[in-house]
Structure 1
Amino acid sequence: MASIRDLRRRIKSISNTQKITKAMKAVSAAKMRRAQENVLAARPFAKRVRDVLGRVGSASVGLKHPLLAVREANKVAYIVVTADRGLCGGFNSNLIKRAAQEMKGRPNLDVVCIGRKGRDFFRRRDYNLAQQYVGVIDAAGPGFAREVAKFVMDKYAAEEYDAVYLVYSQFVNVLVQKPIVQKLLPAEPPEGEADGKHVDYIFEPDAEQIMGKLLPMYIENSLFQALLETKAGFYSAQMTAMDNATSNAADMIERLTLTMNRARQAAITKEISEIVGGAAALE
């Protein structure tokens, strides 16, 4: 059995760790609330862009655009969005596992890594990293999403990539984050007809120019939404992990305190027995 001094040291060490996890939980909770607000505020615009793109696409059957060209998927790119830090349970590992499963069996692929955890994983396993962005998740805005979108769109239009997929974490709620694989290119406009009714639209100046504006906007917005969703998911996962760590630390402190009290009581009982035994021997 550990000595009383060792037990005191362990209790003190765990108490210090508990203070850190409690502080990290508070910080994560504050950042999670802001990130969640940003996700919920951005979703209506993303939905509207998809709806408009779907209507234009359904009314422009046969329209040709470089981002709509369908080719045999010989060279594929994956944009993998992970966090830069850990201490968030299985958040990063679930994302990376899903991405690795999707990449399995594809010998010719590039990886665009956004986030340190994904970058480190794929670099250690000798994947071809076309681009890597580290330390950008917290401050990533529409401008950054536009930069990444331009990179993959230029590669696709030049036929260097035949398909582009986006892997990120969808924020469902504080306790649930769902890894998602979304096909970015070739762009596939969602169905835009409501209730099965066909609507004829008059385009000004023309459908081709409108689609030329909408498609890049759709790709950029999909990337920006993925960044927001992943950020909110990360802070939610970290808050939950730190809450669990704080509770576990409290349980450990309680168990160690009980053990220390028992050891102290045993020591006192032993001393009393020795005193009584010594007194009896003097009689």
Structure 2
Amino acid sequence: MAGASMKDIKLRIKSVEGTMQITKAMELVASSKLRRAKERVEHSRPYFDVLHAALDDIAYSNDEFRSPYMAQRPVKTSCYVVIAGDRGLAGGYNANILKAVAAHAEGKNWCVLPIGKKALEHYRRRGVPIVTDRYAEAADVEMSGCYDIARTLAKGFVNGEFDEVILAYTNFVSMLSQQPATLKLLPLNYRKAEKGSGPRQTTLYEPDCETVYNAIVPEYLAGLIWGGLCESVASELGARRTAMDAASKNAGEMIENLSLHYNRARQAAITQEITEIVAGAEG
């Protein structure tokens, strides 16, 4: 700020104060939404835990059980479901998940089903094949949308459009920590219980085990996607809150420095005026 006039410094202080008000408001909004997002994360977990237990029960209790969703075949094409944000100003939230996907998919032939505006824009710019762009707004994706996504993925896997499906999301660890994560959705994998490891319950499924299993799988996938979406939304809000808090603190430090420069310039101006008055009186 060397050589800047008092008026310029004062305008700069007002500008930084305006920015600080915006970042403070965004921090408060993110904090308010984060509480609801954390509750949604906690409420989403029991749903697919029950479905996972049902799938395991069917698979483990039938030695000759087969399902197209368990088909292990050479991976020619991978499909990534990438959950990112709709907006920026969230620190490294969007960049971190996109970098994690790029590292995980390196050397693969892959396509992507993006959820969130930032993910869609990123993969469009890079020419990555996109399964569908119907979910460009992550904030608009509800449980019904997750069912649609799950059915699309299940159908594509069974039809051989892709040989594995991977969910990429951000795991909410705490207010200050959010970690990118990947989860393999398809093919489903499990280890059969060894004979003699203990008694197993026998459950009768109608019309048959495979039909029930194949009907539950899309529901299970939808639950996993919904859980990943809830985790990602909470992570985005946590990252935005942290980023806005840091921005507010930086703005406060800038205001202090600018105020110091302003006071020095004002003191210099007063000293100059006194000097001129004294010189004029002596003359």
TM-score if structure 2 supplies the norm length? Answer: 0.93
1:134 deviates by 4.7
1:90 deviates by 0.2
1:171–1:230 CA contact under 8 A, matched in 2: yes
Paired position in structure 2 for 1:35: 37
Paired position in structure 2 for 1:144: 145
The CA distance in 1 between the partners of 2:203 and 2:221, in whole Å, is 24
1:57–1:192 CA contact under 8 A, matched in 2: no
Paired position in structure 2 for 1:117: 118
- Give the unaligned 5+ runs of structure 2: none
| 1:253–1:134 distance in 2 versus 1, CA, 3 Å | farther
1:258 to 250, 257, 260: 260
Matches within 5 A, 1:1-283: 1=2, 2-106=4-108, 108-189=109-190, 197-205=198-206, 206-280=208-282, 282=283
2:113–2:130 CA contact under 8 A, matched in 1: yes
| 1:95–1:167 distance in 2 versus 1, CA, 3 Å | same
- Give the unaligned 5+ runs of structure 1: none
1:82–1:168 CA contact under 8 A, matched in 2: yes
Instruction: Determine helix, strand or coil for the equivalent of 1:138.
Output: helix
Instruction: Determine helix, strand or coil for the equivalent of 1:150.
Output: helix
| 1:93–1:263 distance in 2 versus 1, CA, 3 Å | same
The count of corresponding residues between Structure 1 and Structure 2 is 278
Q: Deviations over 1:34-67 (max 9, x none)?
A: 1111111111222222233223222223421111
1:84–1:134 CA contact under 8 A, matched in 2: no
1:77 deviates by 0.8
| 1:62–1:273 distance in 2 versus 1, CA, 3 Å | farther
The CA distance in 1 between the partners of 2:151 and 2:272, in whole Å, is 77
Q: Which amino acid aligns with 1:182?
A: L
The CA distance in 2 between the partners of 1:234 and 1:88, in whole Å, is 6
TM-score if structure 1 supplies the norm length? Answer: 0.93
1:190 deviates by 7.6
The CA distance in 2 between the partners of 1:243 and 1:82, in whole Å, is 21
Moved over 4 A (4+): 189-193
The CA distance in 1 between the partners of 2:228 and 2:63, in whole Å, is 29
Q: Which amino acid aligns with 1:100?
A: A
Identity, in percent, stands at: 36
The CA distance in 2 between the partners of 1:126 and 1:6, in whole Å, is 46
Instruction: Determine helix, strand or coil for the equivalent of 1:132.
Output: coil
The CA distance in 1 between the partners of 2:114 and 2:228, in whole Å, is 13
| 1:138–1:254 distance in 2 versus 1, CA, 3 Å | same
The CA distance in 1 between the partners of 2:19 and 2:126, in whole Å, is 33
